[in-house]
Structure 1
Amino acid sequence: MKKYTLALLLAVAMFAGGCQQTDTTPCTATPVTTKAPASEVATLKQYIDANKITATADDRGFYYTIQSPGTGSKPTICSNVTVNYVGKLTNGSTFDQGNGVSFGLSQLILGWQEGIPLIASGGSITLYLPPSLAYGSAATNGIPANSILVFTIDLTSIN
């Protein structure tokens, strides 16, 4: 009798496990269309020029340099991504970094939402973000208000 009870419990557990509800809700996030104000873009361009940085200007107001484009498909606003990154202030000091960190792209700052989809898995990009596409006018976690931020990001995978 114990064999049948154990077998029945295992069968119920396997059936219940196979029937667990997964989140199949379609992503309703919309791509970012926010543009940085002209004054922020001008200040960022001064930084880029003064430091002789070779970077591409994006119409939304940030600059970027792709070190490696990666291969395969690129993430969308609905993607979950795993990255290695370093965040720096324009004075060169590091305010944040992480390795093997996963995020829902729609949960990140606007500059990441706009910049990370420029590369595919295995790619690497440096983003130069004006305040309105980063943390804006609020000081947070050692980042002064209205800071231009520089992120070096390796997109290790799209999950």
Structure 2
Amino acid sequence: MRLLTVLLCFISLSTIASSDSTITYSLPDTVKPVSMVVDITVTGYGKKEAFAGIGTKSVKLYVEKNKKEHLVSFKFPEASKTIVRGRDVRMKKAQLEWKFDWQLNTTYKLMLATATDTAEKFSIVSAYIFLPAEQKWKLIGTCRMKDEVRPLEDLKAVRSTGKASRMDVSFSNVMVQTARGWRRLDDTKQPVPSPAVPPLANVDSVYQVQADKDLIDVATGLGAIKAKENIEGVYYEIINPGSGTSFTAKDSVSVRYQLRLLGSQEVISGSETEQYTFMLGSLIRGWQLAVPLVKTGGKIRLVIPSGMAYSIRTRSPKIPPNSVLVFDIDVLDAKPAAK
């Protein structure tokens, strides 16, 4: 099968007939996209409600306009559960909406990203828009879909049509991310650019810092966690300082660890018995800052705000965007990085 089947002739939807409102992208069964990104530029619209965006049989991400306002809308099946909602995003039945005065003749990026648990047969899907003026991403929200393990199948670009409800729009830089990296889906032969700025660049990051701190303060006040000291916002409790060697974020460490989300007792990663070896400098910022506070043989508990962890990225099916992480870490050994 060819990598791409374009059912319509042109990537610019503003020039096609009103009955042709969808472009469908077909991928081989062996290709499992985890993200889809497209540049969208609206050049005009009718007097009634209109929309344009990307989606699949399960989820849709559109820019919309109605008589009163412009919106960015994330739509998903009614049986899905909303697990994360971006700042100032309102929730409707099977839909999240963000009031945003998007402009004509301005190019925005739309992104759908997913993480799947094949064992438990569910996926989470997150929706984002990249704001060119701020050069940052906005998280619209994340839903959890049960019994869905390939939520980004049947990829489409869609716009509304009709004299009064038309949306004149062009799509470009249509790409999917797979285990092997980003690949282009449109007909151009241009090089494959990855998204210019990763979702870690978050327009709501300042707000989220305070929201995470408030959650941690509540958990501390209730006695759910005892990690009260902090280093650059990463809270920690030294359970055993260790008596071995000191190390830095430039070194390799061997550890046992367990990861939970703040407020949950479920271990979602790690083990009490299995040993893991990492280059500390390649891990999330929270580990780099706080793990070197103990020596080898030591144990430390970390409570890491989302901005020092995975921020708004859709990293894992059990780690939604904006998650505050709790780690219990036993440091077994440390070695200088090989030169």
Fold similarity call, TM over 0.5: yes
Amino acid at match of 1:51: G
What is the deviation of 1:42?
A: 2.6
Partner of 2:315: 140
Total equivalences in the alignment: 125
Partner deviation per Cα, 1:25-65 (whole Å, 9 max, x = no partner): xxxxxxxxxxx833422322222222343223214112111
Pick aligned residue for 2:270 from 97, 109, 121 = 97
Q: Which has the larger radius of gyration?
A: 2
Where structure 1 has 5 or more consecutive residues not aligned to the other structure, the ranges are 1-35
Pick aligned residue for 2:256 from 84, 102, 105 = 84
Partner of 1:18: none
Which protein has the bigger strand share? 2
Which protein has the bigger helix share? 1
SS of the aligned residue for 1:92 comes to coil
Contact preservation (8 Å) 1:66, 1:124: yes
Partner of 1:113: 288
Q: Identity over aligned residues, as a percent?
A: 31
What is the deviation of 1:68?
A: 0.5
SS of the aligned residue for 2:276 comes to strand
Q: Take 1:100 and 1:76, find their aligned partners in 2: how far apart are those partners?
A: 19
CA RMSD of superposed structures (Å) = 1.9
Contact preservation (8 Å) 2:231, 2:290: no
Q: Take 2:303 and 2:324, find their aligned partners in 1: how far apart are those partners?
A: 7
Partner of 1:70: 242
What is the deviation of 1:124?
A: 0.3
TM-score, normalization: structure 1? Answer: 0.71
Contact preservation (8 Å) 1:135, 1:146: yes
Contact preservation (8 Å) 1:41, 1:62: no
Query: Per chain length, whose mean CA-contact separation is higher, i.e. which structure has more relative contact order (CA < 8 Å, sep 6+)?
Result: 1
Pick aligned residue for 1:122 from 269, 272, 297 = 297
TM-score, normalization: structure 2? Answer: 0.35
Amino acid at match of 2:230: D
Q: Take 1:72 and 1:104, find their aligned partners in 2: how far apart are those partners?
A: 18
Q: Take 2:220 and 2:259, find their aligned partners in 1: how far apart are those partners?
A: 16
Contact preservation (8 Å) 1:75, 1:116: no
Q: Take 2:323 and 2:210, find their aligned partners in 1: how far apart are those partners?
A: 15
